[in-house]
Amino acid sequence: MSRQCIVFEIFLKRSLCRIPQKSYLCTKSIDMKTLVLLRHGESEYNSQNRFTGWTDVNLSDKGVIEARTAGKAMKESGYEFDIAYTSVLRRAIKTLWLALEEMDRMWLPIKHSWRLNEKHYGTLQGLNKSEMAAKYGEEQVLLWRRAYDVRPPLYDEADVKPLLNEARYKDVDNLIYMRGECLKDTVERVIPLWENEIAPAIKSGQRILIAAHGNSLRAVVKYLEGMSDEAILKYNIPTGIPLVYTLDDDLKVISSKYLADEETLKAALDKVAGQGKAK
């Protein structure tokens, strides 16, 4: 290469580096963040097609398998975590334990918060979804299950106040969360935990696993992806399948994927979608 060409090449590289934030040679690489969301494995009430909410039921035998399978999938895909978050309900807690056991990460720090509990279904809790659909219509049940701003039939305040005596609920700051919620209520209680604890942890470089519930995770997804109130109505999250988000420095979504093959994922999503239909 001639001396003239070498000088021009050096000049070109220096010129490119003076272009603010547009040059490929000079831009700062994006430090991608990882967040994994895991809905608990099938619960006893899930298997019976009942509204669960804050009712503290166990995993079904199938749910135990789903939780372990989720742990295996995360391990085989090479995911590592620095801290995990979960609710104060046993089906989510046990799912996390079983998944971490499969990953040989039982020592991982875990934070529990009632803010990650499932949406409270009010007086519908314990009732069969198909029976309610036959009685009130599938459209009404869909609104109770998925609508953003439609609350289910509520408990009276007197019925839920005793729950405040439980240590896990001592700092609940609004009784509506215990009487019956719409998704808007669930979002309002989940997002403070996200903004005050989880988001700062992710920004600092910590790899986070959240094992929670269908609607508390829908609240996170809605917030992360900027979904409209209408779009979230039809958005379902299956039990026991990890949902992996890749985020940029500002926690904007770069990509997302489920750790499952298409057939397994479709079957799981179809099952969730069909829960509120009359038989």
Among all residues, which ones are annotated catalytic? 40, 118
Q: Is 209 exposed, middle or buried (0-12, 13-18, 19+ CB in 10 A)?
A: buried
Q: Which residues, including other chains, have CB under 8 Å from residue 57's CB and lie 6 or more apart? A: 43, 44, 45, 90, 91
| Spatial CA neighbour of 258 closest among 42, 31, 66 | 66
| Spatial CA neighbour of 111 closest among 132, 133, 96, 128 | 96
